[in-house]
Structure 1
């Protein structure tokens, strides 16, 4: 044995094997780096590994059987031992091995210490919001000592994020094929949905997390600070025929350390197993222990159909675009209809697809109500049937009690009967996580439960901090609860994301008014450059609150002549606060006779916060709904207006 080992050493067999392994490792790293840029298929590195492993015994055999001489390779037996160059060759191999190991060490250290930059193919942002907003006057900025958590989405490090919190960024599609981008988005959203089903884990919603795409995005710690999370999940996807390569990693934002990373080379049939494995590895890394029921609930959210979730991502993109900065939302949503129908044909149990599909018919109902013609009333009935049918499918396709509760809220609000409303609102008050409802704020105000839902609205801004809608919801619910400073701060936070949002502007102005900050309201009016009509409206409100009828009426003259037989929410509110009961009843009755009366009357009541703006018997349709729901009237929490005596 000793003689064999000595001969192996003399023939440099060990050195050749070591050198081969070092060079082989370096070759694999080069292939990994250039594979995407060179357009190599997903199995290229696997093939390279197989070839390198196959070559190892060949290299060892050559080292044993042959020797390098000045005349080239010769069989070892033909070389005179006295003239052998094996010692010199061994020294050269030692130097090569040490140099190779040094290069390996440099590459390993660089991968850990070099600042990360995750390149992505540019694609138009789905949602605006990362641009620096226009400034607002200092007098109307939120007080530094009373900030809403995470109010400024760009203010990194304002608060320590929860340790069990994560954002899943959109995985990079490593090709220019649009289908691959949708596939990568689908894979990312599936992982996000899996994690969102874990009760202990705060997971950033898609709307915020998916804004971080393109070449010029912040570092992982900066993104985590902006989203208020402790961890970032990122990855890449490459498809080639029936093969897919997925790379995923989770990064701890505090020190930019990769806690876990893995590359999967599988067939497309295995993509769902990849999703499951990534989600479960993330929960393991975060030391979240799931029992069998929790694990089953987490995995329930998978679509399990590649074509379905590619089509769903296309439909979601259309939906997001239609809802932002578009005046023709209904028409813009129409291309998504056939996509949703195909998605739910392929995946009948896809709850989110049914729910988002129903949104089209909600918009269709809104337009039919506004048009108020014989044909539009037929459209309204058909749209309501479709809306209810799709929400039923959405509810029956999920076991998640939070999603089911909010589906019930949305269905209730858009229907003609509000029987059982208190039960539905009570169920919504017990939800956890971040389930969204488009109409919750209006229902909580009418039921007198707004204060109970302030924590829910704050939680939504944690889950989805770059979504201006959530700041608007918090603004509205805090306003209805009489928490005017919080409402104003939330509105300012939303305006940091979209400085052109008029709903947030007026919500902020209303909050300042209710807080009695008249100078700030005037500064706001100047900043917004509002017309005299609006200035006169707020001036009249302030005088009415002080009980000065003559001053209020004089301020109202800035609004111009009253509407001739029309319905104007500004005028209705002033009729109420000035004690002009007959005029308020008359205008409310006109509105109640229209198909869309419910939404408008609720919003007017919520905005005024002045108790009963009219006598309930003047609005029989509205009164029927209030009585069915067993809601109090007047709504609780109204402010005092001395001139209003009912």
Structure 2
């Protein structure tokens, strides 16, 4: 009642409604609020797991890599809220929940609601906002106008405690803590924990600066500096490995500049396939590498809209990045293209110098070249000029419909475009930290141009990459679908956007018919996209249509010759179809491109296991495990269980469960291990969790050989009916 009297119920509830608009996977949402018997209340969802405080009391100090991971996720959520003009004011371990290893900030903005609604009366009546251990100096001094840097200080204080085991300042009373906060500098982290990297120690010190102006410009910048020490290895993601289809060229008036040369025009019977190689970033400024790669990728995507022209996929073309001994004839032979576009770019301040050459790959003859020296704001015009010149040179036509497709999703803002390209470069790295940071850049692009459809496409794919591998699918795919829908509302016609909308629709709604219909539409829009073909193949095989899936996987392999993804999907399809000899043959071809490509499991090891060739299975799993970092392969444990070596199986299970306490692990993997150990109750409990998480892998529940022992249990049939799957077909004998 006292709070209601001081603040005013109507103003408090109005502020709470503002907070309810915050929608972010690392923020706990507000559902409702009101007043009952003079008491103000607000409603949040029930959250399972534990608080960061509980984990700190148990572990005291966290591994450095784990701190970087948690702070990156928290910083991303804080920056999102700050972009909406909302400050937390009371960030602390008690307000950070850990759900399946993912941090979620609770009570976001409640303190701000109190401050905004109560105004000066809050200070006058002595209501406390903030917690002394994590309160910024300006907040402790009672300043009314706080900004995002105050939350950054609190985040740094939490970081300090995760690394050292104690907050930056402590004392027996709140008054003493605040006095030390205002007058003392925290002890450097390396004084008590020498293993903390120097760069990390310095980053925390800067974020804990007494003066806000001395801190980082954003929480994301703090997280980035925190990770400046050597990074961890990558985790593989099936969708995250398919990265080539995010950019769409922005087409305006065709503008030619500089010197042009041209050989005799190619006839209509000439080359109809092209590879756009990465542009060489000249000038020595490595920070502009993203710009050079992004321009090349956009050129490739624009050319991909031209009828009758096949464009080599990004993964294959970028395999030649940095090659000093480049031979265009080798490029043509390996990628199966007739012509190659190559060149260089230099960006200095607000100007871009771009030189390109179109070369006949077989004859090694230059067909056309051009040089440009333009302001950065005219980069779209340069791309348009190159696109049209190549269309003319190859005697092709860019009709009205195709021109409209290239126009869709564009921006007129050079600043938004630059932020988008930086986000795109991060997405290609495919690590969790890079994906989280990419979202900041895509959102920054939208802040510059709210109608930039392609930035929404970037957000949709970034969340899709996070799903299942790094985050609960239900949360990530819901965010992905929302972004994809926004892109379509703004006119995006990219088949890749339609595809990810279809994937997310299935996960959110379990609507297989709609998902398949939308995926077929994506293939029709982008028939020459290896990424679309690979992911459609993946979907078909999960849905039990393995023969059709293998056809699509074969098409993906042809479209992207040097990428392992198409071959891997084919290997997976063969495994789900229980064609184990063919799995082994396909794996040999896929491994020749990239022997480290692992996602979900080693299907070569699994094929050996299902054939009873256990020694060969263990050898393969030992090899595959060396590429997986700290995450144990669930198939490794299943193999030991099948052999009757339950001790080793349980040891690997315990390792995977320990890993799952800090990172997201798909419950289906744990369920499969318990099933192999004959522990059906545990297996079904985990399968229920997998369905609740809405993993896309649930589409293939009836197909996984690892779960065959559960088929006779009525609970299994009930589960797949709930997901909307057909009953398992009669399982044929293993070859």
Same topology, TM > 0.5:
yes
Runs of at least 5 residues in structure 1 that lack an aligned partner in the other structure: 1-123, 129-161, 324-328, 371-379, 542-551
Aligned residue in 1 for 2:553: 457
Task: String of CA shifts for 1:359-410, please: whole Å, max 9, x gaps.
Answer: 454566658976xxxxxxxxx8765553332121233345536335412322
Q: Which residue of 445, 468, 482 corresponds with 2:541?
A: 445
Q: Return the offset for 1:308.
A: 2.6
Shift in CA distance, 199/505, structure 1 to aligned 2, threshold 3 Å? farther
Deviation at 1:601, TM superposition (A): 4.7
State yes or no: 1:626 paired with 2:728. Answer: no
* Distance in 1 (alpha carbons) for counterparts of 2:633 and 2:440: 47
Shift of 1:230: 2.6
Distance in 2 of aligned mates of 1:309 and 1:615: 55
Q: After the TM superposition, which residues 22-421 of structure 1 pair with which residues of structure 2 at under 5 Å, given as runs?
A: 163-178=271-286, 180-214=288-322, 216-239=324-347, 243-300=351-408, 303-323=411-431, 329=432, 331-362=433-464, 366=468, 385-398=478-491, 400=493, 402-418=495-511, 420-421=514-515
Q: Does 1:596 align with 2:696?
A: no
Cα offsets for 1:588-614 (capped at 9, x unmatched): 244314533645655664441876843
Q: 1:605 to 1:170 in 2, by over 3 A?
A: same
For 1:247 and 1:456, the matched residues in 2 are separated by: 37
| 1:215-274 Cα shifts (integer Å, max 9, x gaps) | 635322223333333321011223456654322111121121112112234454543232
Instruction: For residues 532-581 of structure 1, give each alpha carbon's deviation from its aligned partner in whole angstroms, at most 9, with x where no partner exists.
Output: 9978954886xxxxxxxxxx7x57687469979x9844545547xxxx7x
Q: 1:308 to 1:497 in 2, by over 3 A?
A: farther
Alpha-carbon shift at residue 471 of structure 1 (Å)? 3.0
SS of residue paired to 2:322: coil
Kindly indicate whether the alpha-carbon contact (under 8 Å) linking 1:495 and 1:505 is maintained by their aligned counterparts in 2: no
Distance 1:298 1:587 in 2: 49
- In 1, Cα distance between equivalents of 2:652 and 2:538: 28
Q: Is the CA contact (8 Å cut-off) linking 1:617 and 1:623 kept in structure 2?
A: no
Structure 2 contact 544–700 (Cα < 8 Å) conserved:
no
How many residues are matched? 447
Under a length normalisation based on structure 2, what TM-score does the superposition of the two structures give? 0.51
Greater RCO structure (CA 8 Å; 6+ sep): 1
Is residue 502–residue 516 contact of structure 2 (8 Å, CA) maintained in 1? no
Q: For 1:500, what is the secondary structure of its paired residue?
A: coil
- For residues 605 and 342 of structure 1, do their structure 2 counterparts lie closer, same or farther at Cα, with a shift above 3 Å needed? same
CA distance in 2, matches of 1:306, 1:369: 32
Separation of aligned partners in 1, 2:350 and 2:624: 56
Q: Judge conservation of contact 2:358–2:368 (CA < 8 Å) in 1.
A: yes
Change (3 A) 1:517 1:458: farther
Aligned to 1:135: none
Map 1:473-488; keep pairs closer than 5 Å.
473-481=569-577, 484=580, 486-488=582-584
Gap runs ≥5 in structure 2: 1-229, 235-269, 627-631, 658-666
Q: 1:381 to 1:593 in 2, by over 3 A?
A: closer
Q: Verify the 8 A CA contact 1:592 1:621 in the aligned structure 2.
A: no
How far off is 1:193 after superposition?
A: 1.0
CA change 1:253–1:561 in 2 (3 A) is closer
Q: Provide the rounded CA distance (Å) in 1 between the counterparts of 2:689 and 2:347.
A: 57
Question: Take 1:386 and 1:563, find their aligned partners in 2: how far apart are those partners?
Answer: 31
1:163-213 CA distances to partner (integer Å, 9 max, x unpaired)?
Answer: 522111122233234564433333222211111112422212333323433
Q: Alignment RMSD, CA only? A: 4.4
Cα distance in 2 for residues equivalent to 1:601 and 1:535: 21
More helix by share: 1
Q: State the alpha-carbon separation in 1 of the partners of residues 285 and 498 from structure 2.
A: 39
Q: 2:567: which partner in 1?
A: 471
Q: Retained in 1: the 8 A contact 2:274–2:339?
A: yes
Equivalent of 1:614 in 706, 711, 729: 711
Distance 1:563 1:265 in 2: 59
- The answer (yes or no) to whether the contact 2:496–2:522 under 8 Å persists in 1 is no
Q: Offset of 1:333 from its aligned partner?
A: 2.9
Structure 1 or 2, whichever has the larger Rg, is: 1
Q: Report the TM-score when normalising by structure 1.
A: 0.58
3-state DSSP of counterpart to 2:602: helix
1:509 maps to 2:509: no
SS at match of 2:343: strand
8 Å Cα contact 2:484-2:498 kept in structure 1: no
Pairwise mapping of residues 516-527 of structure 1 onto structure 2 (< 5 A)? 521=617, 524=620
- Per-residue deviation, 1:344: 2.6
Going from structure 1 to structure 2, the CA distance change for 1:589 and 1:260 (only over 3 Å counts) comes to same
Q: Distance in 2 between matches of 1:490 and 1:350?
A: 41
Task: Rate the CA distance shift 1:490–1:261 in 2: closer, same or farther, 3 A.
Answer: farther
SS at match of 1:503: coil
Summarize deviations over 1:403-448 as a string: whole Å, max 9, x none. Answer: 3541232212431542634534554565612163696556423432
Distance of 2:625 and 2:544 partners within structure 1: 35
- Residue in 2 that maps onto 1:498: 594
Q: Is the 8 A contact 1:413 1:439 kept in 2?
A: no
Is the Cα contact below 8 Å between 2:352 and 2:375 reproduced in 1? yes
Per the alignment, residue 84 of structure 1 pairs with none
Q: Distance in 2 between matches of 1:440 and 1:173?
A: 34
d(CA) in 2 for partners of 1:519, 1:309 = 53
